Structure 1
Amino acid sequence: MASAPLPDGEDPRAAFMAGARAAIPYAAVGLLLSASFGVVARDAGFPIVAAIVMSAIVFAGSAQFTAVAILVGGGTAGAAIAAAALMNSRFLPMGIALGPSLPGSAPLRAAQGQTVVDASWAMANRGDGTFDRWFLFGSTAPQYVCWVAGTTLGAFGGDLLGDTSRFGLDAMYPMFFLALLIAEIKSRRAAGVALAGSVLALALVELVPAGVPVLAASLVALWGLRRPKQAA
């Protein structure tokens, strides 16, 4: 069972360690997922160092897999970057919500905000609109280490693994996106938006350059965020 964020005034070290313990299951999953990314990136022609540096700097599974998929499909670097940025746009409102709980100047708060990942942000939420920043830092630390370590293992081990389908690593790639989609479908409206984006992307696959279908589907998702009009 995940540890709860500590109230204000508690020992920062205790909060950090509580966050680290709570994140162990997420870190373990991230290790496997990032290993598959390392293999996929190598198969796509990425140098080992490039794959590892991408994980160390970007640290965002959906963005990294999307960028690689677009580049492998013949898309441009611009399309890959744009799609990755859209995939990570959710961090903007998350950062806005977290901001008041971070002390210091604007650059210092921005630096602290780099530790935000989905699970850490959710676990560090105290439920009253504030966040335990040390719990956030602690929960992100093992996830980051495992993400980079997994990518390193996958990138270096890809040649040794040979046919990755024997180990199911190739299946983790599409299953990752499917899991993201299922997690977001919590209402009929969300299901409708997901269906519309999928249909549009499939319709565009044979008509436009690689990367454009992903961008189009992402724009449909952003359109779906609009507030429904209230009945008069």
Structure 2
Amino acid sequence: MTALHPPDSSPTGTTTDPGSDPGGDPGTARARPDAAVVRDALGVGLAVGASGLAFGVAGAGAQLTVWQTCALSLLVFTGASQFALVGALAAGAAPLAAVAGALFLGVRNALYGLRLGPRLQLPRPLRPFAAQLVIDETTAVTLVQPDRRSARLGFTVTGVSLYLVWNLTTLAGAVGAGALGDPGRYGLDAAGPAVFLALLWPRLREGGEERSVALLGALLALAAVPLLPAGVPVLLAVLAVPAVALLRGLRSARGKDTA
């Protein structure tokens, strides 16, 4: 989701692959200055955290109270799942169906944790707290660092700054939208679906499987609108993920047969 600086180059001009040094041995990669790591991490945390304002407005548009909206940011803290939840609620989906869709999107964070665990090697007492900060942005910042010290610093600064700013802007957006009264009078009831489409649009501009998933998801949702109750078409779009994965597997198998 977030554009980051490429890994540092070695003195010989070759690019250091952060994934090649999961242990973070300082002897195998040139360490980055702490100031550079903090600068990049804060840039990501502050920029992405500001979008919590849109989530606060979207929560109000889905008829959530200020405290319900803020609780989602405090406890869930994964933007895609939060927007999917309020977008489905705003579209009329049943609460359990909306939660199921949000949980489906959140599963990827567990996979991020499996990748980050060996790289960070945090003390056991800190791991439950660190787990709350395992999201797209902290994973991206951590994995571009050349050594464990930089990885830990980048993960911590990105996670803490993003968490604080995200929750503050969520509160500001929810309070500001709530003070206006009925969100439907100002069109704020469309904020959830609108943000969902905004998140989808960059995937349409990319190539490969991401574009395929986005296009198929959009087609599934549009085709289901006249056939299914409100809110269900949005959730149906998640079927695009296993469908594209299945097609990829079939193509690979076909390629092996013809080889």
How would you bin the TM-score normalised by the shorter chain? Answer: 0.7 to 0.9
1:179–1:155: structure 2 CA closer, same or farther, 3 Å change rule? closer
Q: Against the structure 1 CA distance between its residues 136 and 97, is the aligned structure 2 distance closer, same or farther, given a 3 Å change threshold? A: same
**Aligned residues between the structures:** 227
Cα drift, residue 149 of structure 1: 0.3
Tell whether the 8 Å contact from 1:31 to 1:147 is kept in structure 2 after alignment.
Answer: yes
Q: Secondary structure of 2:134's partner?
A: coil
1:42 to 1:192, Cα distance in 2 relative to 1, 3 A: closer
CA distance in 2, matches of 1:141, 1:36: 20
What TM-score comes out, normalization by structure 1 length? 0.78
CA contact (8 A) 2:93 2:230 kept: yes
Q: Show CA shifts across 1:51-83 (max 9, x none).
A: 111111111222112111222222212111111
Residues 132 and 213 of structure 1, relative CA distance in 2, 3 Å threshold: same
Q: Does 1:223 align with 2:243?
A: yes
Contact 1:70 1:211 in 2 (8 A): yes
Partner of 2:85: 67
* Superposition deviation, residue 126 in structure 1: 4.1
**Once the 2 structures are TM-superposed, how far is the Cα of residue 124 of structure 1 from its aligned partner?**
1.0
Question: What's 1:154 paired with?
Answer: 173
- Aligned mates of 2:92, 2:196 — CA distance in 1: 20
Aligned position for 2:226? 206
For 2:212 and 2:241, locate their aligned partners in 1 and report how far apart those are by CA, in whole Å.
Answer: 10
| Conserved 8 A contact 1:18-1:135 | no
Residue number in structure 1 paired with 2:152:
133
Any unmatched runs of 5+ in structure 2? 9-17, 19-23, 27-32
d(CA) in 1 for partners of 2:224, 2:112: 31
Deviation at 1:159, TM superposition (A): 4.1
CA-to-partner distance for each residue in 1:104-139, whole Å, 9 max, x for gaps? 677753542321121221111147797823321111
Contact 1:74 1:210 in 2 (8 A): yes
Q: Output the CA distance in 1 between the equivalents of 2:183 and 2:37.
A: 34
Q: Distance in 1 between matches of 2:144 and 2:47?
A: 24
Distance 1:173 1:80, change over 3 A: closer
How much is the aligned-residue C-alpha RMSD, in angstroms?
A: 3.6
Residues 1:195 and 2:212 aligned together: no
* Distance in structure 2 (CA, Å) of the matches to 1:30 and 1:196: 27
1:98 is matched with: 116
1:144 aligns with 163
Larger radius of gyration: 2
- Matching residue within 16, 19, 39 for 2:57: 39
5+ residue gaps, structure 1, are none
Paired position in structure 1 for 2:43: 25
Measured in 1, the distance between the counterparts of 2:194 and 2:62 equals 18
C-alpha distance in structure 2 between counterparts of 1:171 and 1:75, whole Å? 14
1:122-171 per-residue CA deviation (whole Å, 9 max, x = no partner) reads: 11114779782332111111111110000111111224457989x99888
Q: Distance in 1 between matches of 2:141 and 2:119?
A: 14
Q: Percent of aligned pairs with the same residue?
A: 33
Say if 2:69 and 2:174, in contact at 8 Å, map to a contact too. yes
The residue correspondences of 1:42-53 to structure 2 (distance < 5 A) are: 42-53=60-71
Contact 2:59 2:192 in 1 (8 A): no
